[in-house]
Amino acid sequence: MSHTAHIPSHRKPRRSATKLAVRAGVAGGVLSTLAMAGTASATPSAEPVTETLEMPVLDLDLSAEVSSAVTTAADNSKAAALQGELNTLEESARTGAAAEAKKAKEEAQKKADAEKKAKEEAQTAAARASRDSARTTLSGSGSADSGTTAEAGTGVKAPATGSAAAIVNFVKAQVGKAYISGGTGPGSYDCSGLVQAAYRQVGITLPRISQDQSLKGTKVSLDALQPGDILYWGSAGSAYHVAIYVGGGKFVGAQNSSTGVALKSLSYDPPTGARRIL
């Protein structure tokens, strides 16, 4: 066994090569600076030289940068999520407003339709009351040419006088003339052209087309027709045919290209409704 095996070593620990190199570099730099300063002081006429050495600074605080980047990303995510929620709320608000507007429009339309219907019914009732109060029962019989006609559905005979008689006489005088679409007379007519021309005889200007003519005047029942009333086929406002009631359960109308202007019974082609202008 060696007698020196347990004798502790008195050598100093070896320093790392990197640290030694750094220290050597720093020492060398200091010595160089001192040498230059000594040289400058040895030359009286030379101006003092000042040299500043700037050492690079290394910022190795990476944890702060990472933390800042993470915070920025989190803030961006929150902002995006908040914007998405705002967009959703705005879209929901627009959808709700559109639904409310549509509902309000539908309710307003229903109210307007109800008011229109009530007004028409009131006008019809007023017209019927006026006719009942002015109606005179006449005895005997007469021909349509003499101006005495029977009320449809009542059997009561009332005279067609004044403007009504002028309209009836005019349309009867057109019987046999040709039907031509767009015709307004005097040689040919279409249905609305004949009605317009008849009322022009008494100084009343009617719209040109049957749809508009079916809305003029006052709505009357088919059981209470009077000579000169306008008959229409189809819905009021969208009628596809019109004619003139001449009494005795008959009407005159420009029917089609086959029949032309003809005198027909109501049973031949029952109308949908009637309007009274006079």
Average per-residue pLDDT in the chain?
76
**Is residue 57 situated within a structural domain?**
no
H or E, element range at 18: helix 17-42
Question: What is the tally of structural domains in the chain?
Answer: 2
Residue 107 belongs to domain spanning: 72-134
Confidence of residue 12 (pLDDT cuts 50, 70, 90): low
Please state, in angstroms and rounded to a whole number, the distance separating the CA atoms of residues 269 and 191: 14
Q: Domain boundary residue among 108, 134, 160?
A: 134
| Residue 249 pLDDT > 90 | yes
Question: Does a structural domain hold residue 55?
Answer: no
Rounded to the nearest 10 degrees, the angle between the axes of helix 162-173 and helix 191-200 is 140
Q: Where are the beta strands (DSSP E) in the chain?
A: 148-150, 157-159, 178-179, 188-189, 218-220, 230-233, 241-247, 250-256, 260-265, 273-276
Secondary structure (3-state) at 123: helix
Given a cut of 50, is residue 154 above it in pLDDT?
Answer: no
Report pLDDT for 138.
29
By the 8 A CB rule, do 250 and 200 touch? no
Least confident of 48-52, 122-126, 229-233, 254-258: 48-52
* Pair 93, 128 in one domain: yes
pLDDT computed for residue 78 by the predictor: 81
Tens digit of pLDDT for each residue in 265-277?
999 999 999 999 9
- pLDDT tens for 179-208 read 999 999 999 999 999 999 999 999 999 999
Structure confidence by residue, pLDDT tens digits, 37-78 = 555 544 444 455 555 555 555 454 566 666 777 788 778 888
Domain end call among 107, 134, 161 = 134
Amino acid 157: pLDDT? 44
pLDDT value of position 178 = 97
| Among 85, 106, 134, residue at a domain's last position | 134
pLDDT confidence of residue 73: 79
Residue 218 has pLDDT above 70, yes or no: yes
The answer to whether the beta carbons of residues 227 and 169 sit under 8 Å apart is: no
Residues 206 and 179 in one domain: yes
- Please tell me whether residues 103 and 225 are part of one structural domain: no
